[in-house]
Structure 1
Amino acid sequence: MKASERQRIILDLVQTREANVEQLTEALGVSEATIRRDLAALHKQRRLVRTYGGATALVGVHEPEASLEERKAARREQKETIALAAAAHVHDGDTVMLDGGTTCAALARHLAVRKDLHVLTNNLLAVTTLANAPGVHVTLLGGDLRRSSMSTIGPLAELLLTRVSVDKAFLGADGVVAGFGLCEASAPQASLKDCMIRRAAQIIVLADADKLGRARQQHWTPIERDWRLITAMSASEDALAPFRALPQVVVELAGESAPR
């Protein structure tokens, strides 16, 4: 991995919280000496703040959330390919969770032809797609409407999740960072994802290549168990390396790997 790419990932990682050298070493799969050199270089460039044994971000570095229409248009081909790969993990008779977001909405289109399928979701785009699918039973998570994503969030949605369990949960995110988890624009989104993770036998994260290592929002959902990442074949090896280095993560490139 080139130093510039490694340092970009470090900057994304320290947006989550103060990170120590040991955490960064594990996340990037390099030596402590390499991490210390990178931290010294980034500190000299005034791009992060060194702390005892690690580093933290400069205050206030985050991105505005993209609109729903912008997200629908962005990387549409990648999302369709990822959704198709995700659908291969779903079998007739399954109970599955679909998170909010446009990639999970794309997955819903591939599930509309299934039989004896139960879908629980907070994604109103997915509900619209599945409403007339005769073989799919849909349970909508109630709660507060989040207009910017056309999804539901909040205590009522979380309460329903305490009463159910699913075979597989398909999660989207604004960003996904190896060793840290899923990045979101609001605390209720991050909290609901945590509830979804707790109620699912299998966790599958759907993220296009641009979301790998991206940590430009301020709220986080850790994934502290085995999970699968499905991303695009266009993702660089530098971006994939931190995920491949984690024993609890299976990396699948859409169009390449068969489910296992």
Structure 2
Amino acid sequence: MIAEERRALILKRLSENRYVQVSDLAGELDVTTVTIRRDLDEIETDGLCIRKRGGAIRVNPGVTMEMPYDIKQHEMVSQKERIGMKALELIEDGDTFILDAGSTTYALALLLNSKVQITVVTNDLKIAGKLAENPKIKLICTGGVARTFVYSLQGELAEAFIKDIKVDKTFLGADAIHMDGVISNVNIEEVSLKKAMIRAADRTILMADSSKFGKAGFVKICDLHDIDVVITDSGITNEVREMIYSQQIEVYIV
């Protein structure tokens, strides 16, 4: 396991437990305590934790770092599958739509074999690899710079392409949805691309599992009332449910 993946797992443990111990992390990750201390020092330098004797505590409960794809794909699996199935119902044969990068939109991509004459635009290399196997789907990749371990494309080339097209729908992912209705992201370089995806579509559908709500990312994408549909799972709290419905948008809870 490389350092980036190891530190992402440490941050995940911090988000789950608030406090982590060096000895526990060393045992879980099968590395020395010296390595874990060095990782925690780096994370503290980034302002994401505070070192304490024998471990560290997280700075805040918000979203602070994007997890590698190989970690995200194993989280909230059944919830993402249900969200993907509901999203599939919103696609009609002949549609042209954007699939934003992410493990939740990938769950939708796995189900597209039942549709015919659809055109899919994506900046997700995992999604592109899967859909390229299906001759019934017209697949278009945005181009751009590939992000290591995240398998998405971003940058000026991707943005320029999206700005020049018009689609029926965009299926959007996000890192966080705060209780004030702000949808946000960890990676600042992805935000302008996501905004372009929203502008390119007649309808925007946000696909977000319940773990994304009640958190704040680094950069705002838009407000909930700027999109048309939210699909999430039944794990959301009553407070989150009320907040979503207050936005007066179409909501599906699966």
Higher relative contact order (CA 8 A, sep 6+): 1
Match of 2:42 in 1: none
- Pairwise CA distance, 1:161: 1.1
Give the 3 Å change call, closer, same or farther, for CA 59–97 of structure 1 in structure 2.
same
Normalized per residue, the structure richer in helix is 2
Kept after mapping to 1: 8 A contact 2:63/2:215: no
- Asked if 1:74 corresponds to 2:96, the answer is no
Give the 3 Å change call, closer, same or farther, for CA 252–144 of structure 1 in structure 2.
same
- Pairwise CA distance, 1:65: 2.2
- Pairwise CA distance, 1:172: 0.7
- 1:1-260 matches, cutoff 5 A: 63-177=64-178, 179-215=180-216, 217-223=217-223, 225-247=226-248, 249-254=249-254
- Pairwise CA distance, 1:213: 2.2
- Pairwise CA distance, 1:64: 2.7
Give the 3 Å change call, closer, same or farther, for CA 66–59 of structure 1 in structure 2.
closer
Normalised by the length of structure 2, the TM-score is 0.72
The one-character-per-residue Cα deviations of 1:1-44 (angstroms, maximum 9, x if unpaired) are xxxxxxxxxxxxxxxxxxxxxxxxxxxxxxxxxxxxxxxxxxxx
- Pairwise CA distance, 1:225: 2.9
Distance in 2 (alpha carbons) for counterparts of 1:67 and 1:148: 5
Give the 3 Å change call, closer, same or farther, for CA 178–171 of structure 1 in structure 2.
farther
Q: Which runs of 5+ in 1 are unaligned?
A: 1-57, 255-260
The one-character-per-residue Cα deviations of 1:59-97 (angstroms, maximum 9, x if unpaired) are 997523222111011010100110011011001100010
Which letter does structure 2 place at the counterpart of 1:227? Answer: D
Kept after mapping to 1: 8 A contact 2:66/2:187: no
Which letter does structure 1 place at the counterpart of 2:215? Answer: R
Percent identity among equivalent residues? 29
Deviates more, 1:96-105 or 1:127-136: 127-136
Give the 3 Å change call, closer, same or farther, for CA 147–221 of structure 1 in structure 2.
same
Distance in 1 (alpha carbons) for counterparts of 2:179 and 2:142: 28
Match of 1:30 in 2: none
- Pairwise CA distance, 1:181: 3.2
Give the 3 Å change call, closer, same or farther, for CA 241–143 of structure 1 in structure 2.
same
User: How many residues were matched structurally?
Assistant: 195
| Pairwise CA RMSD | 1.9
Normalised by the length of structure 1, the TM-score is 0.71
